[in-house]
């Protein structure tokens, strides 16, 4: 447990931010120190090299005209070169054209031959400097040129560069102090940032814990970061949706129980009244039994409608799509509904503008047309009419179901697609309505990616317009 806790700390956003701050603080430092040291070294070598070369060149005339390079004694020059060499903690050599050392401030190697590429180059007229890292010496070689322009030898001057290492050492110790300061500062900043960034997240996580415990609360508005503000407001939206789903589920369950209980209660009353009375005439038995049969039919219809609705509501419910001849489908439905229409004395007229073949689920789409036409017949007056028309364009097909029946009150129109909603409760119950028909219709049309619209005037009639794509395109579920 402890191990998991410490591991989760390393995976926390606060730790990662702290790590980034530390790296951002330290890495440039680590990169810059060696680069600055290198730069300091090369600039110092170059400056010293060119200065030393200029100084060596300045001795040219003195050395050449006095014959010092060819062996003439010159105490003044001896002393001057010696003291210059000492001041540099180095050495001065004069080499003649035969590559032999003729003067040496150390007086050690006179007469020896020197073969070194820089001296050969200087014999050809080049002034050069070279830094020998192993000995820490800067070596300058310049040609000695007489008044005729001939090279008579080479002047070599060495300079100890020990001061470079000393300077670098003190530079490094300053840098180390700087590193300690920067490191401590970045650690402090990192810790503060870690606390600053992880606190609102921890707060949010605690609030989520309490929401999990009691689902009634909302996430407090978190305003420290715009991202968290947007997450908490979206989360609250989700909670709001969950609440309304929960409410509508509860309402649905209570409606279902109520609707299922009503026929049962009627049957119980009918049965009880038969059981409670003696010498009931057979006609009354028959009449009550017919009533009980009607209630059973009603109960069956409610259960069937509920099953259809549940099947459509099931998330990811599949449509069994095939190319269906819609004209034939409507013809077939109207044939089935003809007896109801005749009984209600309602005239049904069907007008098809063109043959329509569309990709639909035949069973589910039959429910759509049946419910609409059945309603138009049911909520009609004696001698009324129902007009059904079918049309299409290159993309959709359109079904219009129009009647001159009872119409729907204005304030009910927006509710008629809700489950168990009935605009006129007593009439609807009387004619066997369950209040589920239009909910089934709407779900089925939505599954086909279509739309349904209604226009109605109370006392004048209603018009239902359905629009469905000819080709079914399955919606991607993410
Ligand atoms: P029901 O089973 O009660 O018919 P529906 O869901 O099919 O349930 O319809 C809901 C309500 O909408 C009905 O109770 C009725 O009041 C109203 N309604 C539906 N179609 C029509 C129509 N063509 N004319 C008048 N009212 C209608």
Looking at the DSSP assignment, which residues form a beta bridge with residue 145? 151
Nearest CA to ligand 1 atom 14: 422
Cα-to-centroid distance, 435 and ligand 1 (Å): 7
What is the pLDDT confidence band of residue 5, given thresholds at 50, 70 and 90?
Answer: low
Is 60 exceeded by the pLDDT of residue 3? no
Cα-to-centroid distance, 387 and ligand 1 (Å): 17
Average pLDDT of 352-361? 96
Is 80 exceeded by the pLDDT of residue 426? no
Nearest CA to ligand 1 atom 4: 433
Q: Domains of the chain (ranges plus CATH)?
A: 59-160 (3.30.450.20), 226-308 (1.10.287.130), 318-469 (3.30.565.10)
Atom of ligand 1 nearest to the CA of 461: 24
Structure tokens belonging to residue 4? 């998991």
Query: CB–CB of 178/156 below 8 Å?
Result: no
Residue matched to tokens 């269906």: 324
Query: CB–CB of 358/324 below 8 Å?
Result: yes
Q: What is the pLDDT of residues 78-101, one digit of tens each?
A: 888 889 999 999 999 999 989 999
Atom of ligand 1 nearest to the CA of 429: 3
What pLDDT, on a 0 to 100 scale, did the predictor assign at position 4? 57
Average pLDDT of 395-422? 94
Atom of ligand 1 nearest to the CA of 433: 2
Beta-strand pair 92-96/385-392:
unpaired
Is the whole-model pTM more than 0.85?
no
Please give all residues whose beta carbon lies within 6 A of any atom in ligand 1, as ranges: 371, 375-376, 379, 403, 405-408, 416, 421-424, 428, 433-439, 462
Atom of ligand 1 nearest to the CA of 423: 16
N-terminal to C-terminal alpha carbon distance within the chain: 35
- In whole angstroms, what is the distance from residue 80 CA to residue 60 CA? 14
CA 70 to chain CA mean position, Å: 84
Average pLDDT of 207-230? 82
The pLDDT > 70 percentage for the chain reads 96
Is 60 exceeded by the pLDDT of residue 349? yes
Q: What is the pLDDT of residues 20-43, one digit of tens each?
A: 888 888 888 889 989 999 999 999
Q: What is the pLDDT of residues 440-478, one digit of tens each?
A: 999 999 999 999 999 999 999 999 999 999 999 887 554
């Amino acid at each position: 447990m402890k191990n998991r806790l410490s591991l989760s700390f390393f995976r926390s956003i606060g730790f990662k931010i702290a790590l980034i701050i530390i790296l951002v603080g330290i890495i440039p430092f680590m990169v810059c120190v060696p680069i600055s040291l290198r730069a300091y070294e090369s600039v110092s070598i170059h400056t010293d090299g060119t200065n030393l070369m200029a100084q060596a060149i300045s001795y040219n005339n003195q050395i050449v005209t006095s014959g010092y390079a060819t062996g003439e004694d010159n105490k003044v020059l001896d002393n001057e070169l010696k003291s210059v060499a000492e001041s540099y903690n180095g050495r001065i050599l004069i080499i003649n054209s035969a590559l032999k050392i003729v003067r040496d401030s150390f007086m050690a190697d006179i007469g020896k031959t020197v073969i070194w590429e820089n001296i050969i180059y200087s014999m050809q007229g080049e002034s050069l400097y070279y830094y020998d890292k192993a000995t820490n010496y800067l070596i300058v070689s310049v040609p000695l040129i007489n008044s005729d322009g001939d090279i008579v030898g080479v002047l070599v001057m060495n300079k100890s560069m020990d001061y470079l290492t000393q300077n670098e050492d003190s530079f490094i110790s300053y840098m180390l102090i700087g590193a300690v300061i920067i490191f401590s500062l970045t650690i402090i900043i990192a810790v503060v940032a870690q606390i600053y960034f992880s606190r609102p997240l921890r707060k949010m996580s605690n609030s989520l814990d309490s929401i999990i415990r009691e689902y009634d609360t909302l996430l407090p508005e978190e305003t420290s970061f715009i991202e968290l503000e947007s997450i908490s407001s979206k989360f609250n939206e989700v909670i709001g949706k969950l609440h309304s789903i929960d409410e509508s589920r509860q309402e649905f369950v209570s409606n279902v129980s109520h609707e299922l209980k009503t026929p049962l209660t009627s049957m119980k009353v009918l049965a009880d009244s038969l059981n409670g009375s003696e010498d009931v005439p057979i006609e009354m038995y028959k009449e009550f039994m017919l009533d009980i049969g009607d209630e059973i039919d009603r109960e069956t219809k409610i259960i069937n409608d509920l099953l259809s609705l549940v099947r459509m509501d099931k998330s990811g419910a599949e449509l069994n799509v095939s190319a269906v001849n819609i004209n034939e489908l409507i013809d077939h439905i109207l044939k089935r509904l003809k007896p109801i229409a005749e009984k209600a004395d309602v005239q049904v007229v069907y007008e098809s503008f063109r043959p329509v073949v569309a990709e639909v689920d035949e069973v589910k789409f039959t429910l759509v047309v049946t419910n609409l036409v059945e309603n138009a017949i049911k909520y009609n007056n004696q001698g009324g009419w129902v007009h059904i028309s079918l049309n299409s364009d290159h993309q959709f097909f359109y079904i219009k179901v129009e009647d001159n029946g009872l119409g729907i009150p204005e304030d009910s129109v927006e509710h008629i697609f809700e489950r168990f909603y009935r605009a006129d409760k007593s009439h609807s119950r009387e004619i066997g309505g369950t209040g589920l028909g239009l909910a089934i219709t709407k779900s089925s049309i939505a599954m086909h990616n279509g739309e349904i619209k209604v226009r109605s005037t109370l006392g004048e009639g209603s018009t239902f317009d359905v629009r469905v794509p000819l080709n079914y395109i399955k919606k991607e579920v993410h």
